Amino acid sequence: MKYEELAKQILENVGGKENINSVFHCITRLRFKLKDESKANTDVIEKLDGVITVVKSGGQYQVVIGNHVPDVYSAVLAVGGISADGEGGGNDEAKGSLFNRFIDMISGVFTPVLGVLAATGMIKGFAALFIALGWITDQSGTYQILYAIGDSLFYFFPIFLGFTAMKKFGGNIFIGMAIGAALVYPTLAGVLAGKPLYTLFSGTLFESPIHITFLGIPVILMTYSSSVIPIILAAYFGSKVEKGFKKIIPDVVKNFLVPFCTLLVVVPLTFLVIGPVATWAGNLLSAFTLWIYHLSPIVAGIFLGGFWQVFVIFGLHWGFIPVVINNLTTKGFDPVLALTFAASFAQIGAVAAVMAKTKSAKLKSLGIPAFVSGIFGVTEPAIYGITLPLKKPFIISCIGGAVGGAIIGLFNVNSYIMGGLGIFGFPNFIHPKNGVDATMWGVVIAVIVGFIVTFILTYLIGFKDQTDPIAEKPVETQVETLIEKETLYAPLEGQTISLAEVSDEAFASGALGKGTAFVPTVGKVYAPASGKIATLFPTGHALGMETNEGAEVLIHIGMDTVQLNGKYFTTHVKQGDQVEQGQLLVEFDVEKIKAEGYDITTPMVVTNYTNYLDVIIQENGKVAVGEHVLTLVI
């Protein structure tokens, strides 16, 4: 198996199989739901060959892989003995803020179907393109079959979402599918087309013709094909009802009586209450988003186009998915996602400029696959591999995306399907009946201008170019740098021991870096060198600093002391502060921490040790603050 070793390392460093509630993947990321994120060795995972970076967002631990994520995902399942049934969330409860739980729910429901949704959308787009070009007619068998393929998922969307939503909410997936199938049952659709018995709420926004009743109660029939919100709410309600029946129905008949009772309760209630209310809510949501858009399409384009890549980084773009799909289902078009289309092309404009200007062979080699991926709308390799680490190119790419979004807003562009990304996304803007119109030129102009603006600004403004490894430098330079060194001094008073003696495997194995450890006798931590506080945990138990010479140093006070939540710790600096060697950073109560049952051993490691020829450790023994303990050979 090609990715077996990578899968093993990822599983080991997320805390093992036993720390995983669920795992699934999107286009570029493995999305873990971990029982305890503190057990994950993020620094280690980020350094693995084949991993771009790690993102923690929306209650998920996201390992960004790139284009090979489906293969890595399969290897993770195989190596870990994890069932693919966990894809989507399972029974785990989302933690964190309400917003995080919402993002987690949306991603869990929609991610499993996004690939097929994009594929079928592209087929519908190409069918519309073929008609516009005069290659086929809408009466031909070729068109009808292509359209059937493209429309199949969207028409029966409630069935697919019934599956994914019920899985996400921890219920029986087949009950979810049955609820979705009932919503699109053809006979009820035929009843809806007939003459109504009478009308409710006449003359109001909620005016509804009544075609049938259930036990004498009027049923407000809606068109649920392609709908999103009703089935998600119905699945959530169904999962709760199912769990209730499981508690009271005897095991001997539970297999069939639980679905029997659940469907008899949930489906009628969905038609009577959940469906109509959800549909009205969806119509209001669609009207509201379009109202905001029409206030100023250009301003909306600047905002969404400029910040879209930022939303992608933090996983916040999931919040737009239900809005977009709801617009497509209720209005037949969506202007929101269209505004972001130029952002990916702006991103590769920045990558192209970096490749053209950099002298680093490493950056050039990273740029080629990142550029190719970006052409097809997958920008994570470009963001995490090139533009974000270089900072300025990423900011400029956001400016380019904003310019492209403004142009798209100016042309009032709509997307009519949720299809492909990148160059495969152009069919999204072909009108199903009118074909290619003037707004398509707005898309083309936005993409070209966004790319060119980003390329020129990145090339002219520039960036801090990376230097290649020592092996690529001239021999004369290597001889000079071999004699350079940096010294790190003891940050606290006590006894030094080797990292191998530390109880935490991540430190003991050297996975987090090379260095030494202290058994402190005095609870005061001082700066081991002059530099900047790069990271300071709110709990005060750990900090990272970048020395003036470039060493990245992690000091972790005690083992598992994060669980004290800051108790017994007092910080004297804040993140971003410049400090001098010997300056007091943190105070902690040694005896009280030990009394709580925690190991007070404090490792100090150089996390970027691979940038050095060697990390030389002084002999273990009693040490005072300010004594020489580590030598970094450059």
Alpha helix locations (H) across 483-532? Answer: 505-508
> In this structure, are residues 242 and 171 in contact, taking their beta carbons and an 8 Å threshold?
yes
Q: How far is CA 504 from CA 4, 364, 509, in A?
A: 25, 39, 9
**Residue carrying the six token digits 């009932």:** 182
Torsional sign, CA 78, 83, 86, 88: positive
What does each C-alpha distance from 600 to 263, 284, 499, 503, 603 come to in angstroms?
56, 57, 14, 11, 10
Q: Is the dihedral of CA 591, 593, 594, 599 positive or negative?
A: negative
Active site residue 261: no
110 contacts 321 by C-beta, under 8 angstroms: yes
- Could you tell me the end-to-end alpha-carbon distance of the chain, in angstroms, rounded to an integer? 38
CA distances from 529 to 306, 338, 631 (A): 39, 50, 12
The encoded tokens of residue 381 equal 């390799």
DSSP 49-98: TT--EEEEETTEEEEE--TTHHHHHHHHHHHHT--GGGTT-TTPPP-S-H
Output phi, psi for 51, to 5 deg. -110, 130
Radius of gyration from C-alpha coordinates of the chain: 29
Q: What number of CA atoms fall less than 13 Å from residue 478's CA on the CB side?
A: 9
Q: Is 269 buried (19+), middle (13-18) or exposed (0-12) by CB count in 10 A?
A: middle
Active site residue: 10, 26, 127, 630, which one? 26
- H-helix segments, 214-272: 229-248, 251-269
> Closest Cα partner for 283 from 330, 322, 328, 324?
330
Contact 92, 407 (CB under 8 A): no
Residue 525 burial (C-beta neighbours within 10 Å; 0-12, 13-18, 19+): buried
In terms of Cα–Cα distance, which of 275, 283, 279, 278 is closest to 214?
A: 275
Could you give the CA distance from residue 480 to residue 91 in angstroms, rounded to a whole number? 59
**Which residue matches tokens 């058994």?**
519
Calpha distance 261→483 (Å, rounded): 78
Helix axes 392-410, 297-314, angle to 10 degrees: 140
Is there a contact between 430 and 132 (Cβ–Cβ < 8 Å)? yes
Q: Residue 490: name the closest of 578, 447, 404, 553 by CA.
A: 553
Full 3-state SS string of 211-224: CEEECCEEECCCCC
Q: Report the candidate in 253, 250, 453 with the shortest Cα–Cα distance to residue 349.
A: 453
Q: Which residue numbers are catalytic?
A: 26
